[in-house]
């Protein structure tokens, strides 16, 4: 392995790539450095293709070592375990742009591993991992049609910021990760705060221009240290075999692809393929290198013929498999309040794609703790996406969420995050679960729509409704066709899955995956314009079902009441070791009491009366006693000379025996006992801060009121 090093200007920093020192038994390995962040990326390929598969076996792993930021992992085992959500999402970010750049028909296992060795907590390491994967594959002997460049672009005010820090990203109204080839943009992942499509297009153009220097530097690096590419065995059957399979289809594919129902269409395709492979003897003449033609080979060729037929129908006849026009959205139905005991629920159906979204409102204790290289944070909004096998009429074991489920859930969460109220307005932890009950195209965007409906049903005061749709494309030389609301087979046989979600004002989330080398910003802009038309149509349907959020949350959701206490009084409310708060919870029966650093107190309870009792208790703890004010008091202790009464939480005063009644009391213990409640008046705070109370003054009627009563008696 040759030793080499190069540096590239990247924003305000310098990006450095080195090779030849570490992991020398891999096909290629590079370290990518920016500031104090270092990522090692390796690429390895199996020497022989895997047998009996019809997909490219690419594996991508991204790992964040906690030692990179000078920390020891939490938990019992004190070592890294299963991948975190950040690691899974970054693995997908690396996988998606490099996958279409491997040769068609390659079935050799390829593995890319990115390991964060050092982190300065200032810049994210995900972009370095993408660039490192591209560079390692480019200089290796693995066939790869790269290199690609990658950038992160933020928007602060009206200014674009290349490679923003974690601190800058918190201020940004838009964040895009854009990966590009010389032919155009390959992948996009982003979120925004209702940014207009024109501004998004401007950001894409600037990102594409910025990433070119990174891509070109890798090409030069390959000339210096690159290896000669290996000749891998590609799927290469007899040149006439495909024609034979096409002949056996006898034009029946065109008929099958006019069946609108997905299940019936797939049954027809399955029967046709079964007929073709029922007698393998007809393919004996197409043996290559003494290898007999297998059913797997016929299936691969059948898939290629399907690919060509679907695209021919779109280009030549302007027809889609379900009979729609190219820019038509499938039938939509929306329902809310579909479940009786949840905090909010909605059912969104678009064609044969259906999402059931359920909202649960929790308290601060339900927040998700996230340990990352940039520190510990708490997340009070989660969206979880589930994709059971029955949604596509299949059977498979029920396991935990896979990478696809986590990726789709993260995209839908980005789409909805921008319209959620702040904690100061709505102090709840919000969890949405999207259960995909049917799937035939863009279930992540259905999750956005169902999730938004369920938020409104739950009474969450969102700023505006959000919807999402996916636009596809089929290309033919320099021509192309955009497809609105792609279904499963158009995703499979098409060249693009372009998901855009947002409000009527602008974009909140965007994701692009391609099977071609790249598309221009102009084409992507047309895709965004087409998706905007569809998005507005979907929003019309959604708002016809529920126009605005409900006025109140569910009866079954906890009520959170807030109050403010002086910062210097926080300790008094908490008490030593949390003693006071525990006492309030125990006595009032509320679910929880949380205190923010700024003195905001959040009281959560399923019972409003309990919450109000706790609120009065907390307010009483910080209330200053006022001489002359009347309070509700409770006897805490009785003595010969008087009774000590608690008139504010934690505050006691003395009602002297002479202040109980205008008549003489010889034995106070016969008149009052511990636990008795009555009104008292604070008559004095003496020099030693002792509180003197009076029961008789609190009960005495005002002088004017007594005169009025006497006059009325005289009249009678």
For residue 301, give Cα distances in angstroms to 57, 100, 249, 476, 618: 19, 19, 11, 20, 73
Closest CA to 388 of 435, 420, 433: 435
Residues 491 and 606 in one domain: no
SS3 for 630-689 is EEEEEEEEEECCEEEEEEECCEEEEEEHHHCCCCCCCCHHHCCCCCCEEEEEEEEECCCC
Q: Residues 447, 434: contact at Cβ < 8 Å?
A: yes
282, pLDDT greater than 90: no
Domain with 673 in it: what CATH number?
2.40.50.140
Domain with 576 in it: what CATH number?
3.30.1370.10
Per-residue confidence (pLDDT) for residue 572, from 0 to 100: 86
**Range with the lowest mean pLDDT among 187-201, 512-526, 641-655?**
641-655
Domain with 364 in it: what CATH number?
3.30.230.70
> How many other C-beta atoms lie within 10 A of the C-beta of residue 655?
28
Q: How confident is the model at residue 709 (pLDDT cuts 50, 70, 90)?
A: very low
Closest CA to 510 of 474, 455, 453, 471: 471
45, pLDDT greater than 60: yes
Mean of pLDDT values over 646-659: 88
The predicted model scores a pTM of 0.88
Q: CA 446, CA 333: separation in Å to the nearest integer? A: 11
Percent of the chain with pLDDT over 70: 97
Q: Does 323 fall in a domain?
A: no
Residues 417 and 531 in one domain: yes
- Coil, strand, or helix at residue 536? helix
Residues 675 and 573 in one domain: no
Structure tokens at 157: 């005010």
Q: pLDDT digit string (tens) for 88-142?
A: 999 999 999 999 999 998 999 999 999 999 999 999 999 999 999 999 999 999 9
Per-residue confidence (pLDDT) for residue 257, from 0 to 100: 84
Q: What is the edge-to-edge ordering of all strands in the sheet holding 332-336? A: 332-336, 344-350, 353-362, 429-438, 381-386
Distance of CA 447 to the CA centre of its chain: 11
Q: Residues 449, 542: contact at Cβ < 8 Å?
A: yes
Q: Does 551 fall in a domain?
A: no
Q: Residues 204, 178: contact at Cβ < 8 Å?
A: yes
Closest CA to 514 of 527, 501, 502, 529: 527
Per-residue confidence (pLDDT) for residue 336, from 0 to 100: 97
Q: Does 186 fall in a domain?
A: yes
Per-residue confidence (pLDDT) for residue 708, from 0 to 100: 47
703, pLDDT greater than 60: no
Q: Number of structural domains, the chain?
A: 5
Q: Is the C-alpha dihedral spanning 166, 171, 176, 182 positive or negative?
A: negative
Residues 123 and 206 in one domain: yes
Structure tokens at 443: 């279930």
Taking each helix axis as running N to C, give the angle between helix 241-249 and helix 295-312, from 0 to 180 degrees, rounded to the nearest 10. Answer: 60
Per-residue confidence (pLDDT) for residue 715, from 0 to 100: 40
Report the run of H or E that residue 160 belongs to, with start and end: strand 159-162
Residues 342 and 311 in one domain: no
Radius of gyration over alpha carbons of the chain, in Å?
Answer: 34
Residues 473 and 536 in one domain: yes
Q: How confident is the model at residue 237 (pLDDT cuts 50, 70, 90)?
A: confident
Q: Does 590 fall in a domain?
A: yes
- Coil, strand, or helix at residue 225? helix
Q: Which structural domain, as residue segments, surrounds residue 571?
A: 559-622
Q: Residues 39, 32: contact at Cβ < 8 Å?
A: yes
642, pLDDT greater than 60: yes
Q: What is the largest CA-CA distance in the chain?
A: 127
Residues 617 and 634 in one domain: no
Q: pLDDT digit string (tens) for 463-473?
A: 999 999 999 99
**Range with the lowest mean pLDDT among 37-41, 263-267, 497-501?**
263-267
Structure tokens at 551: 């006025």
Per-residue confidence (pLDDT) for residue 713, from 0 to 100: 46
Residues 613 and 659 in one domain: no
């Amino acid at each position: 392995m040759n030793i080499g090093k190069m540096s590239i200007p990247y924003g305000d920093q310098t990006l450095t790539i080195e090779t030849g020192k570490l992991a020398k038994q891999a096909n290629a390995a590079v370290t990518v450095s920016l500031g104090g962040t270092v990522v090692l990326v390796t690429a390895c390929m199996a020497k022989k293709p895997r047998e009996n598969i019809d997909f490219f076996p690419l594996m991508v792993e991204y790992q964040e070592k906690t030692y990179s930021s000078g920390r020891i992992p939490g938990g019992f085992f004190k070592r890294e375990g299963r991948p975190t959500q950040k690691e899974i999402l970054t693995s997908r970010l690396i996988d998606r742009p490099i996958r279409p750049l491997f040769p068609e028909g390659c079935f050799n296992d390829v593995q890319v591993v990115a390991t964060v060795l050092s982190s300065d907590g200032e810049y994210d390491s995900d972009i370095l991992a993408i660039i490192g994967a591209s560079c390692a594959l480019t200089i290796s002997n693995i066939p790869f049609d790269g290199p690609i460049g990658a950038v992160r672009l933020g928007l602060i005010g009206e200014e674009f910021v290349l490679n923003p820090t974690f601190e800058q990203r918190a201020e940004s109204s838009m964040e895009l990760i854009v990966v590009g080839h010389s032919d155009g943009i390959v992948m996009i992942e982003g979120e925004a705060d209702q940014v207009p499509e024109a501004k998004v297009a401007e950001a894409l153009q600037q990102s594409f221009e910025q990433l070119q220097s990174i891509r070109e530097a890798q090409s030069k690096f390959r000339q210096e240290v690159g290896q000669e590419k290996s000749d891998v065995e590609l799927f290469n059957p007899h040149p006439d075999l495909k024609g034979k399979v096409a002949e056996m289809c006898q034009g029946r594919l065109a008929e099958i692809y006019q069946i609108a129902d997905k299940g019936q269409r797939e049954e027809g395709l399955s029967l046709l393929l079964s007929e073709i492979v029922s007698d393998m003897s007809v393919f004996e003449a197409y043996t290559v290198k003494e290898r007999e033609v297998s059913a797997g080979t016929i299936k691969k060729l059948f898939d290629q013929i399907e690919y060509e037929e679907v695209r021919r129908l779109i280009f030549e006849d302007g027809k889609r498999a379900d009979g729609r026009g190219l820019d038509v959205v499938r039938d939509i139905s929306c329902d809310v309040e579909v479940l009786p005991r949840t905090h909010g629920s909605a059912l969104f159906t678009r064609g044969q794609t259906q999402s059931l979204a359920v909202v649960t409102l929790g308290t601060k204790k339900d927040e998700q703790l996230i340990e990352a290289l940039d520190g510990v944070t708490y997340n009070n909004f989660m969206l979880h996406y589930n994709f059971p096998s029955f949604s596509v009429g299949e059977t498979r074991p029920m396991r935990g969420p896979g990478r696809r489920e986590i990726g789709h859930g993260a995209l839908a969460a980005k789409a909805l995050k921008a319209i959620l109220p702040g904690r100061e307005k709505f102090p709840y932890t919000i969890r949405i679960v999207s259960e995909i009950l049917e799937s035939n195209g863009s279930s992540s965007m259905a999750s956005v729509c169902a999730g938004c409906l369920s938020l409104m049903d739950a009474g969450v005061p969102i700023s505006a409704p959000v919807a999402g749709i996916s636009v596809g494309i089929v290309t033919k030389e320099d021509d192309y066709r955009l497809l609105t609301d792609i279904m499963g087979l158009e995703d499979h046989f098409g060249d693009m899955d372009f998901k855009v979600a947002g409000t009527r004002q602008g974009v909140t989330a965007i994701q692009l995956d391609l099977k071609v080398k790249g598309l221009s910003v102009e084409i992507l802009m047309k895709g965004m314009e087409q998706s905007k038309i569809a998005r507005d149509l979907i929003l019309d349907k959604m708002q016809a079902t529920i126009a605005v959020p409900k006025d109140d949350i569910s009866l079954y959701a906890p009520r959170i009441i807030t109050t403010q206490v002086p910062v210097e009084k926080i300790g008094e409310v908490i008490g030593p070791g949390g003693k006071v708060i525990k006492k309030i919870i125990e006595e009032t029966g509320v679910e929880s009491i949380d205190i923010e650093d700024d003195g905001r107190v959040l009281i959560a309870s399923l019972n409003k009366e309990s919450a109000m009792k706790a609120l009065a208790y907390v307010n009483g703890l910080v209330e200053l006693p006022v001489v002359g004010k009347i309070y509700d008091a409770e006897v805490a202790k009785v003595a010969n000379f008087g009774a000590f009464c608690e008139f504010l939480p934690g505050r006691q005063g003395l009602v002297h025996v002479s202040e109980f009644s205008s008549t003489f009391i010889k034995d106070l213990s016969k008149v009052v006992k511990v636990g008795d409640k009555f009104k008292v008046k604070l008559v004095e705070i003496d020099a030693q801060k002792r509180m003197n109370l009076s029961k008789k003054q609190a009960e005495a009627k005002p002088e004017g009121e007594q005169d009025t009563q006497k006059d009325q008696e005289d009249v009678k």
